[in-house]
Amino acid sequence: MILIDGKKIALELREELKEEVSKLKLKYNKVPGLTVILIGEDPPSQIYVRNKEKSANEVGLKSEVIRYPDSVEEKTVLDKIDELNKDESVSGILVQLPLPKHIDKQKVIETILPSKDVDGFHPMNVGNLSSGYESSVPCTPLGCYLLIKKIEPNLNGKKAVVVGRSNLNGKPMTQLLLKENCTVTITHSKTKDLKGECLKGDIIVAAVGIPELVKGDWVKKDAIVIDVGINKTDKGIVGDIAFDEVSKIAKALTPVPGGVGPMTIACLLKNTIECFKRSQK
Ligand code: GUN
């Protein structure tokens, strides 16, 4: 079984990105800039944002974090996004989710210029991705995609099963696999025979947030299995895949932590660089 080392693959990607940023700096005499807006005190969000900032600095991006208290008014945030939209030194804008209840998430997402939407959440980017046009692609599914391609560069005709249909993961993951000519089944909480569906997959991507949902006897021999889950349990952080069981069946499997997580941040940096390059055309 291949244990897919997301940490190592993300490090390699960051090294490549670092080199690319140096070249861009020589060419344009400036570097891509990433601005993250963080609202409130959600502990996981604090950690994610700190890691994003650290990684952005390491590859040589200009990085800024704007923090607001939970009580911030929606208008303050929208006005700030407008300001960042107009700021040429800002290539990418990310508003960390979840947001406090009084702030309309969709309004926030739609205020970000699609060309600066490094999350790929703006309806324009969602539409472009599904139409096969150039777009920002959400960082986590993009990271999963790159891991799958490392193991199997040719996905033509493979059966892929995506567990979970969120806008953040499941749906964009499906689009990426479709583009690679996979036959994709999207499953979710109302799927009738989830085990049976999973068993058909040459590739399984689990992103539902249910601890160890996908068992060993749900997985076809030699499948590639990608675990997006990060679930807090009594025995610590576990994914959506029953790791020990599935590791005996799968050809390749991502661990949690150390699989998809590190790729998400590296892909955010990649997206920021892509936004910068498109803005210079
Ligand atoms: N919160 C958890 N994951 C993400 C992500 O990919 N983007 C944003 N903006 N917030 C998140």
Per-residue pLDDT tens over the stretch 122-153: 999 999 999 999 999 999 999 999 999 999 99
Q: Tell me if the pTM is above 0.85.
A: yes
Spell out the alpha helix ranges (H) of the chain.
6-28, 43-58, 74-86, 105-111, 123-131, 139-151, 170-179, 194-199, 243-247, 260-280
Residue of the nearest CA to atom 1 in ligand 1? 97
- Diameter of the chain measured on Cα atoms: 56
| Marked catalytic residue, from 80, 96, 116, 220 | 96
Asked if residue 248 and residue 157 are part of one domain, the reply reads: yes
Query: Is the Cβ–Cβ distance between 172 and 129 less than 8 Å?
Result: yes
Considering the domain boundaries, does residue 245 fall inside one?
yes
Q: What is the CATH number of the domain that holds 82?
A: 3.40.50.10860
- What pLDDT, on a 0 to 100 scale, did the predictor assign at position 281? 86
Indicate the angle between helix axes 139-151 and 6-28, nearest 10 degrees. Answer: 110
Asked if residue 150 and residue 106 are part of one domain, the reply reads: no
Domain ranges, residue 253: 139-261
Q: What is the CATH number of the domain that holds 252?
A: 3.40.50.720
pLDDT digits (tens, 9 = 90+) for 253-266: 999 999 999 999 99
- What pLDDT, on a 0 to 100 scale, did the predictor assign at position 117? 98
46 has catalytic annotation:
no
Residue 52, pLDDT above cutoff 90:
yes
- What pLDDT, on a 0 to 100 scale, did the predictor assign at position 115? 98
pLDDT digits (tens, 9 = 90+) for 183-192: 999 999 899 9
Asked if residue 248 and residue 159 are part of one domain, the reply reads: yes
Q: Which residues pair with 37 in a beta bridge?
A: 66, 95
Asked if residue 154 and residue 256 are part of one domain, the reply reads: yes
pLDDT digits (tens, 9 = 90+) for 72-94: 999 999 999 999 999 999 999 99
- Interval 37-55 mean pLDDT: 97
Select from 59, 79, 114 the last residue of a domain: 114
Tally of domains in the chain: 2
Asked if residue 241 and residue 163 are part of one domain, the reply reads: yes
User: Which ligand 1 atom sits closest to the C-alpha of 268?
Assistant: 6
Residues with C-beta less than 6 Å from any ligand 1 atom: 94-97, 119, 139-140
